[in-house]
Structure 1
Amino acid sequence: MDTENRPVLTGLVALVGVAVAIGLLGGLAVLVGVKATGIGGSAESSDEPSTSATFRLPRPSETSTETAPEQATEPSPGTEPTSEAPAEGISLSAAQQSVSPMQQIGLTGTYQAGEGSVLQVQRMEDGAWADFPVTMSVSGGTFATYVLTGRTGPNKFRVVDTDSEVVSNEVTVTVG
């Protein structure tokens, strides 16, 4: 092949060769850097805690289905009994009582019996509950989200468990 008569082809071949060499050296440098810093870790799981940023699920363990019998306790003299929401109910609260149109309305609450449940936010519209385009999950017995609305005046919200149809209390937030 006569390279003197084809300088463009010679330059193109040289350019591709340099690009391949730089790519290989760059990849090797990244590989060495990853190994040196310990990023990525191994694909094997271990019981020991690790400082790598990988997601690991806990290993399943056997749980006992037996429960200890509950013992009734009477309040000590001079104390008032406290009324608490039932453990299986959904308790909802709003962070704000009044907001401007399209300002965030924080909705938080507890649902002890609903771990992993998906909750649908609903708003009272024309005398009936309508789904609001917001859902959230229950984690650790609690949930939190926010909604935005431009509908002025009192807005009533509640949440409903999409599986069991358990509903929360209503909260009212005035927009405007």
Structure 2
Amino acid sequence: MDDGEGRPVLTGLLALVGVAVAVGLILGFVALAGSKFLGLDSVSDSSQTTAERSMYLPKPSKTQQPSGPLITLAPGETQAPSSSGSATSGSDKKPTKKKTPKTQISLSAGQTAVSPMQQIDLTGVYPGGEGAILQVQRFTSGAWTDFPVTASVSNETFSTYVQTSQTGVNRFRVVDTDTGLESNEVKVTIG
């Protein structure tokens, strides 16, 4: 038997292992050089300035809570003027603001006119009503009836939407299901 007869397989395996090790080392060095070039290496340079850093997070600090409810006026509404320019409109607005208690539900509609079955956004503020469930109601045939939509109050605010195919002027409001407190009404023209 010849000594070279069993060795071609062994020689082939050793050559294959040698090539795999060489390719692995080359790829490892390329990856290492690439990570250093891209700045992904784990070594941190202490002389690095904050301008070179990719992200800066400031230290958290306490902020003041708003002193009153956050109210967005409905389209077309304006704040009451500070001067008494018009006696009738100024006197009408001022008593209602004085009469309103702190626990008033303020409702506004995002749209004033929509097509049938188009979304109507209802949003509002309910100071002190955290966690309350508000039932949406529509004025139909001379009475307020429940609309199949509710909204929950979170951070003294709420939002929901309704869709209806009933054309004409629709009047909506919300009612607290626990206390029965009612919001102002909003009017939306459908059609």
TM-score of the superposed pair, with normalisation by structure 1: 0.53
**Residue equivalent to 2:142:** 127
Report whether the alignment pairs 1:145 with 2:160.
yes
Report whether the alignment pairs 1:86 with 2:89.
no
2:182 counterpart SS class: coil
Q: Post-superposition, which runs of at least 4 consecutive aligned residues in structure 1 deviate over 4 A?
A: 79-85
- List aligned pairs for 1:30-49, cutoff 5 A: none
The separation in 1 between residues aligned to 2:188 and 2:133, in whole angstroms, is 23
Tell me which structure has the larger Cα radius of gyration: 2
- List aligned pairs for 1:16-95, cutoff 5 A: 83=97, 86-95=101-110
The separation in 2 between residues aligned to 1:102 and 1:121, in whole angstroms, is 16
Are the counterparts in 2 of residues 154 and 174 from structure 1 also a CA contact under 8 Å?
yes
Gaps of 5+ in 1: 1-78
CA deviation digits over 1:3-51, x for unaligned, max 9? xxxxxxxxxxxxxxxxxxxxxxxxxxxxxxxxxxxxxxxxxxxxxxxxx
Percent sequence identity over aligned pairs: 61
Q: What is the one-letter code of the residue matched to 1:153?
A: G
RMSD: 1.8
The number of residue pairs the alignment matches comes to: 98
Q: What is the one-letter code of the residue matched to 1:129?
A: W
Shift of residue 113 of structure 1? 1.6
The separation in 2 between residues aligned to 1:142 and 1:109, in whole angstroms, is 6
- Report which of the two has the higher share of helix: 2
Are the counterparts in 2 of residues 89 and 113 from structure 1 also a CA contact under 8 Å?
no
The separation in 2 between residues aligned to 1:137 and 1:150, in whole angstroms, is 25
Aligned pair partner of 1:115 in 127, 130, 136: 130
Gaps of 5+ in 2: 1-81, 85-93
The separation in 2 between residues aligned to 1:101 and 1:144, in whole angstroms, is 20
Shift of residue 86 of structure 1? 3.3
Are the counterparts in 2 of residues 114 and 141 from structure 1 also a CA contact under 8 Å?
yes
1:112 counterpart SS class: coil
